[in-house]
Amino acid sequence: MKLEGLFTAIVTPFRKDGSLDEEGLQDNIEFQIKNKVDGLVPVGTTGESATLSEGEHKRVVEIAVEQVNGRVSVIAGTGSNNTTEAIKYTKHAKDAGADAALMITPYYNKPTQEGLYQHYKKIVETVDIPIILYTVPGRTAVNIEPETTRRLSELSNIIGIKDASGNLNQVSQEIMLCGKEFSVVSGEDAFNYPIIALGGRGAISVVSNVVPLMMGELVREALKGNHKKAKEMHYKLYALSKVLFIETNPSPVKAAMNMIGLAAGDPRLPLVPVKKESEEKIRKVLQDLDLL
């Protein structure tokens, strides 16, 4: 697949009793496709993969593939801090019909750069599916350094990286080191435009759960080199891109989705709904964008 454009890291909606809201997930997928996203990323960090059971994790991927039915790309989150488990989820994603797998760095156990390389190399050698690396050191306590990304980019089937490091120097090095066939995409919404302006190929976005059409316009105009319009959209969405991370993701984006009538529900423990004061700030930004 071609990793370029806007991909929404979709939330996993829950009912009031805490169970998986399958119909809500299907409705959200239709909302995203109607609003012209290029792809969907189920069971990533935003999809609360850490608190889904194995059965729920697999079911969300299956629902996404079935509901999308080939209309856009499906990139399944399959990462783990256990290489064997990551292989299991990646095999399932391939069997379910996903187009690619998004693989967060192993978290908590803090592997070395060589450990990271061997982790991804083992997965690539075991499962034949396009793989997108995902570095988000603020949540995992480990970063894929640019030289390691370069080494990994030379392996068959590793097609790109979602960079949520917040470090534009690192992004620049990734783009310089890894060649034209390797896609660097933004993993932090406030950096979507700057990363594309540097040569990135798009974004895997949390904010597009709420405003897929507007975020898609930002990404597409930036990719076309229409920097005037892309910059305009960047600043139009900047407050939303900040407020939806006012507390730990995905609690704020779920609050926003609930406000505008999309299926989300509450996050699962140990995450909790946003505080009242955060809710009021989110509501104000949504009102300013005429979303309420």
Q: pLDDT of the chain along its 292 residues, tens only?
A: 899 999 999 999 999 999 999 999 999 999 999 999 999 999 999 999 999 999 999 999 999 999 999 999 999 999 999 999 999 999 999 999 999 999 999 999 999 999 999 999 999 999 999 999 999 999 999 999 999 999 999 999 999 999 999 999 999 999 999 999 999 999 999 999 999 999 999 999 999 999 999 999 999 999 999 999 999 999 999 999 999 999 999 999 999 999 999 999 999 999 999 999 999 999 999 999 999 9
- d(CA 275, CA 117) in angstroms, rounded, equals 40
Q: What is the pLDDT of residue 131?
A: 98
The answer, as to whether pTM is greater than 0.85, is: yes
The helix/strand/coil state of 102 is: strand
The helix/strand/coil state of 177 is: helix
- Buried b / exposed e over 117-136, threshold 16 CB at 10 Å, is bebbeebbeebebbbbbbbb
Please answer whether residues 58 and 22 qualify as being in contact, where contact means their C-beta atoms are separated by less than 8 angstroms. Answer: no
- d(CA 153, CA 34) in angstroms, rounded, equals 33
Please answer whether residues 52 and 12 qualify as being in contact, where contact means their C-beta atoms are separated by less than 8 angstroms. Answer: yes
Nearest of 103, 95, 96, 98 to residue 158 by alpha carbon: 103
- d(CA 79, CA 167) in angstroms, rounded, equals 22
Which residue numbers are catalytic? 134, 162
Domain 5-226 sits in CATH 3.20.20.70: yes
Q: What is the pLDDT of residue 168?
A: 98
- d(CA 184, CA 164) in angstroms, rounded, equals 11
- d(CA 109, CA 142) in angstroms, rounded, equals 9
Nearest of 67, 75, 73, 72 to residue 47 by alpha carbon: 75
E strand or H helix at 76: strand 73-77
Please answer whether residues 29 and 23 qualify as being in contact, where contact means their C-beta atoms are separated by less than 8 angstroms. Answer: no
Burial class (CB in 10 A: 0-12, 13-18, 19+), 116: buried
- d(CA 174, CA 161) in angstroms, rounded, equals 9
Q: What is the pLDDT of residue 286?
A: 98
Residues near 26 by beta carbon (within 8 Å), at least 6 away in sequence: 63, 67
* Domain residue extents for the chain: 5-226
Q: Which residue has the tokens 């909606």?
A: 13
Question: Could you tell me what percentage of the chain is helix, strand and coil, using 3-state DSSP and rounding each to the nearest 5?
Answer: 50, 15, 35
Residues near 67 by beta carbon (within 8 Å), at least 6 away in sequence: 25, 26, 29, 30
- d(CA 127, CA 63) in angstroms, rounded, equals 21
Please answer whether residues 78 and 52 qualify as being in contact, where contact means their C-beta atoms are separated by less than 8 angstroms. Answer: no
- d(CA 210, CA 245) in angstroms, rounded, equals 13
